[in-house]
Each structure stands twice: as structure tokens, then as C-alpha cells.
Amino acid sequence: MKIINTIKEMQEIADSYRKEGKTIACVPTMGYLHEGHLSLIEYADANSDIVVTTLFVNPLQFAPGEDFEKYPRDIDSDFNKAEKSGSDYLFMPNTKDMYSPAFQTNVQVTGITTKFEGEFRPGHFDGVATVVNKLFNAVKPHFAVFGRKDYQQTLLIKQMTADLNMDIDIVVRPTIREEDGLAKSSRNVYLSDEEREKATILYKALKATEQLMLSGERERSVINRKLNDVLMSISGIVIDYAAAAVANNLDEPEFFADGDGIVLLIALHLGKTRLIDNLIVKL
């Protein structure tokens, strides 16, 4: 696997493969790779000629007071894992190259980004849209692969690429979980042993609420109460949101209709760590 540090070199490589008729896949990451990321790289490798994994901890998408500075980093380990999973290039632009002092452009998706994560992380989704737009223009992929754990982010990226006519297919792959159900996340490393144990409540709450829905419940307030009640059974949790919404547009009707895909979304604080998870329920 080759490391590429400049946008210009990345573009030249992409142009060259495109001229040869090769298919390029992009897997955008902030590094500290876990099995979730690796499953995306493996998917990309199985479905393209050239896989570019990007590694950039994007300052724009951290809201003030968040964990940009202490976000976990381990480049040697990332290199080995990405290479073993089938990545051909590791694109690691430096921050100065990505954001010059004169930088003044913002890509904003409205609508679907205003609620849930958008409400609790001001500026986060603008940062995501802008950096993904930039990474796509640098890597020039035919398709890009994202994990479903960041569910709202996957909606945003699909919307942005469609709205801006970006000729890139967006592939969303399932969340990879620990044996006890906890979604793999670079931020899990922050958890103490006790918190790690408590963290299983996210998946338990999602599955318990799914059960309620599969047994016939359609009223949103009842579904939301179930989700919150299960989470609140654990001490030391502060919930940002725990809510059901129509999966493809995040609408929140009073009653869900059969045939809708529903997404159950959770974001909460466990000690100093913020965790998110979600589950799609097919009615």
C-alpha cells in the first residue's frame, strides 16, 4: 500500500487509473481503524480495481469543546490493517493542504441535517459535507463506502452527491458489533471497564424496541418511550436523543405506517464518552 500526502498527486493517480478504465473505490475514515472500517475496505476491495482509504481527522466536523485534540490516532497500526484488508492507497492529506488560511467555502445540506446529530453537534454536518466533498474531488472514486453506524451522515452524503451531481455511488454497509452487541467505534477506547459494560445498553434498547414494533406498536411516542426507558435503566447515562424516525427522510409522524423503514437512533453520554448507535426496523 502506498501513502499519498498531497491532493494533486492523489488526483493524478486517480486520472491515470480512470484512463485505464479501472474502477476506483474510496473509503473515507478518520483513522484508528477497527473491524467496522476494515469491513468497508474489504467490500471496496471485492468490488473495485483500486481501493483508496482516506485518513484525515477533520477539524471542521468537531463542534467546539469536542474531542478533536484527543481523538485517538495510531497511523502504523492503521497502515497495517488497511493494507491487509485490501487497500491500495492510504490518502493522508495534511491539514494545511486541506484548509489553507484563505479557505472560505462551506457545503451545507439542510433539511435532514437539522435534527438529531445536527441539533446536538452544531456545525458537525457542514464539516462532514465539506470534507467529504473535498475528499471525493481528490480521490475521484466511482463509488465510496460508508458504515451505517453514522446513519444520519450516510443520508447526508447520499443527498449531497445527488444534489451536486457528483458521479459517485454511495454504498452503505452494516454496522459491525462486538459479541455483546456494542457497535465498533474508535471512541470505545475512551470507555472504562465499568462504562464498557454499561455501553451494551444501546444495542439492548434498540433490540427491545424493535421487538415492541414487530409485535405491532406503531405509535411514535410509545416507541420512543420504550427506547428511553430501557436506556434509563442504567445509571450515569445522559441521553442526547433516543428516537424513531422514517428511515429515508427522518420524518417523525405520530404513527408509522406499515411498509415504512423506521430507524431507531440513539446518542448518549456515558461518563465523558459520547456514543451513537441505530437500528433499521422494517415494518
- Give the C-alpha separation, 248 to 195, whole Å: 32
Give the residues across from 173 on adjacent strands.
147
- Dihedral of the alpha carbons of 80, 150, 247, 105, in degrees to the nearest 10: -110
Which residue number, 109 or 206, has a Cβ lying nearer to its own copies?
A: 109
Task: Give catalytic status of residue 37 as yes or no.
Answer: yes
Give the footprint of its own copies on residues 179-218 (CB under 8 A): none
Would you count residue 104 as binding its own copies (CB under 8 A)? yes
Q: Per the structure block, which three cell numbers stand in for 100?
A: 489553507
Q: Per the structure block, which three cell numbers stand in for 163?
A: 444534489
> 205, exposed or middle or buried, with CB in 10 Å at 0-12, 13-18, 19+?
buried
Would you count residue 140 as binding its own copies (CB under 8 A)? yes
Would you count residue 52 as binding its own copies (CB under 8 A)? no
Q: Name residue 233's amino acid.
A: S
What residues contact residue 100 under an 8 Å CB cut-off, 6+ apart?
A: none
Applying CB under 8 A, among 166, 171, 232, 246 the residue interacting with its own copies is 166
Which residue number, 136 or 151, has a Cβ lying nearer to its own copies?
A: 136
Q: Measured from the CB of residue 49, what is the shortest distance to its own copies in angstroms?
A: 14
Applying CB under 8 A, among 81, 121, 134, 274 the residue interacting with its own copies is 134
- Give the C-alpha separation, 125 to 30, whole Å: 15
Q: Which stretch, 17-25, 191-199, 223-231, 264-272, contacts its own copies (CB under 8 A)?
A: 17-25
Q: Measured from the CB of residue 133, what is the shortest distance to its own copies in angstroms?
A: 6
Applying CB under 8 A, among 3, 63, 77, 103 the residue interacting with its own copies is 103
Would you count residue 107 as binding its own copies (CB under 8 A)? yes
Q: Per the structure block, which three cell numbers stand in for 19?
A: 484512463
Q: Name residue 228's amino acid.
A: N
What residues contact residue 278 under an 8 Å CB cut-off, 6+ apart?
A: 148, 149, 151, 175, 206, 263, 264, 265, 266
Q: Which stretch, 25-33, 106-114, 177-185, 203-211, contacts its own copies (CB under 8 A)?
A: 106-114
Q: Measured from the CB of residue 203, what is the shortest distance to its own copies in angstroms?
A: 31
83 C-beta neighbours (distance < 10 Å), count: 15
Which residue number, 69 or 167, has a Cβ lying nearer to its own copies?
A: 167
In the set 37, 124, 142, 269, the catalytic residue is: 37
Which residues belong to the active site? 37
